[in-house]
Amino acid sequence: MPKGYLIAHIRVHDKDAFEEFKQLSGAAIKAHNGKVLVRNPSPDHREGGAEGLAIVIEFESIDTARAFYESEAYSLARSVREKISDTDLILVEGL
């Protein structure tokens, strides 16, 4: 079964509050057996408007990635993130 991936670019406006998001989202990632593959605050941005902190998280499947995103734990983290950043986020299925 192909893996599922969350890919995000996050433009943080409040670095102190972002620490709370990291704590909450980290627990939700762990609960869904996710693996952070990329967390880079200054990627080599070449094209498009999706600048900011780059994140790639691998999940066992696209269904698991969706369950993570829709979970109560991540919803709480997301509500924090939405107040302190602008985000581009997609869920994709691997090959």
In order of their start, the domains of the chain are 4-93 (3.30.70.100)
Q: With a threshold of 0.85, does the pTM exceed it?
A: yes
Tens digit of each residue's pLDDT (9 = 90 or more) over 56-68: 999 999 999 999 9
- Helix, strand, coil distribution of the chain in percent, nearest 5: 40, 35, 25
Encoded tokens for 31: 């609960």
Tens digit of each residue's pLDDT (9 = 90 or more) over 6-52: 999 999 999 999 999 999 999 999 999 999 999 999 999 999 988 89
- How many Å apart are CA 66 and CA 73, to the nearest integer? 13
* Residue 94 banded pLDDT, cuts 50, 70, 90: very high
Q: Tell me 33's DSSP state.
A: T
- How many Å apart are CA 90 and CA 8, to the nearest integer? 6
pLDDT of residue 20: 95
Q: Tell me 41's DSSP state.
A: S
